[in-house]
Amino acid sequence: MKPRAGGGIVYFLVIVMMLLLRISQGVGVSDAVGVDIGIWFTVFAQLFCFGALPVVGWWLIVGGGTKDAIRTLPRTFGFVKCSKRDFARTLVIAVPTVLLVWLASTVWHNLLALTGFSFGRSAPSEQTYAALFSELALSALLPGVFEELTHRGELMATYRGTGVKAVFVSALLFALMHQNIQQLAHTFVLGLVAAYTMYASGSVLPAMFLHFFNNFLSVIIGYGELVPVFDVINVADGWLYGSVGGLATLCVLAILSLLLILYVFRNMRCDALREGRLPVADVGAEKALPLSRDVAFLLVVAIGVAAMAFSLAWGYI
């Protein structure tokens, strides 16, 4: 089966499985079997839904279960060496990306709060090294690897024929995959940056690093009591969002971050074109199946929008 059709089916199966997992979480299946829901949900979602399912699904549906399909699958999903130059550029935009992601999250949450949306409170972090390393593994390492394998590896391979539109598709479906209205804005921003690094570099490794780095910082700020140096981020965050001078500084930093990321992307794309890793002007993209006629894409978007609408309504109950 062709990558566009087969890959769409594979990702549809991933999203259906994620939806079933969330439903089981909501109806208390884990309580009935006596399993820690957080750990069970995360490990199964990452290793199976975003790991085994897209790999095996692509091999069977797109590759026909052949040995050649197994051999070429790592390259198809972008598991190739990234040039030192492109990875260095990724390092340069890592902090600016986190700044834009966190800013998008703050603005979006404030907009939701203005409408009367109620945010659920998470339990305080247990201040132990065991808890820290466990959360880093579950919330930073696993998502950084497996969510990127699916949303930058499998999805970019599926929609490669659409040219640069694949970046938008990857970011959109990544945001909708979370099926939580609170996470919509910042996951879309992170998805855009991660997808473009994959698109321009040809490797999924920079995207994995950006995702891991963002989640890594999000985790460690909750462990300021354990490692005081981590609390510096909280202090800086409080000043940026809690004072006029901080807000002005934040606006300047956001603009500079966006300009830097766009400048880096321009250079990455120019190098990719010159080295023949991207077709000039994305030749052939105009011949790809329009997204408006892609049944698998539309079904996945519909599921994501419905889940987002449910989580939004739930916030007003």
Lowest mean pLDDT among 13-27, 59-73, 187-201: 13-27
Mean pLDDT of the chain: 89
Residue 281, pLDDT above cutoff 80: no
Which residue in this structure is represented by tokens 């970011």? Answer: 171
Give the residue among 275, 279, 278 at the shortest CA–CA distance from 85: 275
Task: Give dist(CA 288, CA 290) in Å, integer.
Answer: 6
**96 within 8 A of 257, measured Cβ to Cβ:** yes
Domain positions in the chain are: 81-314
Residue 39 has pLDDT above 90, yes or no: no
* Residue 286 predicted with pLDDT over 70: no
Does this model's pTM top 0.75? My answer is yes
| CA dihedral over 81, 192, 224, 182, signed as positive or negative | negative
Structure tokens at 216: 């890594």
Residue 44 tokens, joined: 């199964």
Q: What is the pLDDT of residue 35?
A: 54
| Chain CA centroid to CA 292, Å | 23
Burial 51-87 (b: 16+ CB within 10 A, else e): bebbbebbbebbbeeeeebeeebeebbbeeebbeebb
Cα–Cα separations (whole angstroms), residue 225 to 134, 232, 239? 17, 11, 19
50-to-143, 146, 251 alpha-carbon distances in Å: 9, 5, 35
Contacts of 52 (CB under 8 A, 6+ apart): none
Q: Would you state the pLDDT for residue 120? A: 75
State the pLDDT confidence band at 283, using cuts at 50, 70 and 90: very low
Res. 28 pLDDT band, cuts 50 70 90 = low
3-state secondary structure of 78: coil
- C-alpha to C-alpha distance for 238 and 51, rounded to whole angstroms: 37
